[in-house]
Amino acid sequence: MRKLRPKRRIPTMEETVEDPPTSAVLLDHCHFSQVIFNSVEKFYVPGGDVTCYYTLTQHFIPRRKDWIGIFRVGWKTTREYYTFMWVTLPIDLNSELTKQQEVHFKAYYLPKDDEYYQFCYVDQDGVVRGASIPFQFRPENEEDILVVTTQGEVEEIEQHNSELCKENQELKDSCAILQKQNSDMQAELQKKQEELETLKSVNKKLEQKVKEQKDSWETELLRLKEQNQKIALENEKMGVRVDQLQAQLSTQEKEMEKLIQGEQDKTEQLAHLKKENGTLFLSLTEQREQQMKLKQTVEELKQKEATATKKQQELTEPKNKKTAVEEQLVQEVEHLKAKVEAGKACFLEKYKECQRLHKQIRQLRAAALEVKQDLKSQQEPMGMGSQEPAVSTVIG
């Protein structure tokens, strides 16, 4: 008849205040050779405490949350423990005595059936580091007591025992080789773990650097986007301004054409005024020459009048006698006076003519100056640097 599998017993507060760390890792991922269980009995008598002896290998370092559990043979994960005890951390890991450790299981917490169980060392990550041979919880019986009755049976048992010892030695040698291989693998694993930590540190630094570079690029991209928006807005404003300037330039070109045409007209007008000014200047010169001649004539007449008056006074007698010569002189004096008066009238008329010419010349100068100023004021706003037309002046 098939026996029912006992339920897992939950440890009490005397054993622990929390569940041990377990794992769903399968047996293929365990390392059973890092902790070796010693002096495991084939069976333990129910109702008594059980002491579990174990040895830590050279490269295995125990941790605070490691534990030893009793598992029913056939378990698949570390969650299937029946009971457990926390391990005691050794003080000096380098001591040989420290490598030999033990834990005590109270009888009350042990299984009550006769199924096969085994000790398993589980670290704080829930990984199995060692497992014992199977054992049972049952009382001793007569089948367990070997009674030797004949010498032949003793020799046969001794021979069998010798073979078992030889096989045990071979197993020990194989175990030593495996332990050495495991030690080498642990050293290699430690080295790989150190390399992994180094790579993780380098990777972390690279990730931080990449993050900083990414943040810097995002900031620069945001700044360039804002700058691009500003440039696009400025370009739009510049386009509107260019259109306005082109319209203004077209208007100014039309005004320039009008000013150029007006300038040509005023230039022709100025040339006409210059020509007329030259004609008036020649006429004024002739008038001045005639005026000088008249002045000379008047002076001559004044001298003749003075001479005639003087002669008249010399010839005048107290008796006031008039001779024919005197009459002639008087007539001549009168004639000279008439000529002087006529010269004065002619001089006055010529003088008035000169004044009128001077007035016309001043008007021509004022008109020429006004034309010049108009041309200058029209050229300055338009940025024209054309040379001003020469204007001759007449000194009055």
Q: Which whole number is the average pLDDT over 47-72?
A: 93
Segments forming the whole domain that contains residue 49: 35-136
Residue 96 counted as domain residue: yes
pLDDT of residue 240: 93
CATH number of the domain where residue 97 is located: 2.60.40.2840
Share of the chain above pLDDT 70, in %: 83
Opening angle at CA 33, ends 20 and 170, nearest 5:
150
Residue 174 counted as domain residue: no
Radius of gyration of the chain (CA): 73
For helices 324-379 and 151-315, the axis angle rounded to 10 degrees is 170
Quickly state the pLDDT bin for 375 (edges 50, 70, 90): confident
Q: Which whole number is the average pLDDT over 138-143?
A: 73
Higher pLDDT, 315 or 175: 175
Question: Coil, helix or strand for 53?
Answer: strand
pLDDT of residue 227: 93
Q: How do residues 80-131 score in pLDDT, each as one tens digit?
A: 999 999 999 888 777 766 678 999 999 999 999 999 999 999 999 999 999 9
Residue 67 counted as domain residue: yes
Number of domains in the chain: 1
Helices (H), 5-150: 96-99
Residue 205 counted as domain residue: no
pLDDT of residue 283: 80
Q: Is residue 99 a contact partner of residue 55, using CB atoms and an 8 Å limit?
A: yes
Q: How do residues 311-358 score in pLDDT, each as one tens digit?
A: 877 766 554 555 676 678 878 888 888 888 888 888 888 888 888 888
Residue 96 tokens, joined = 């040989």
Residue 126 counted as domain residue: yes
Residue 251 counted as domain residue: no
Residue 58 counted as domain residue: yes
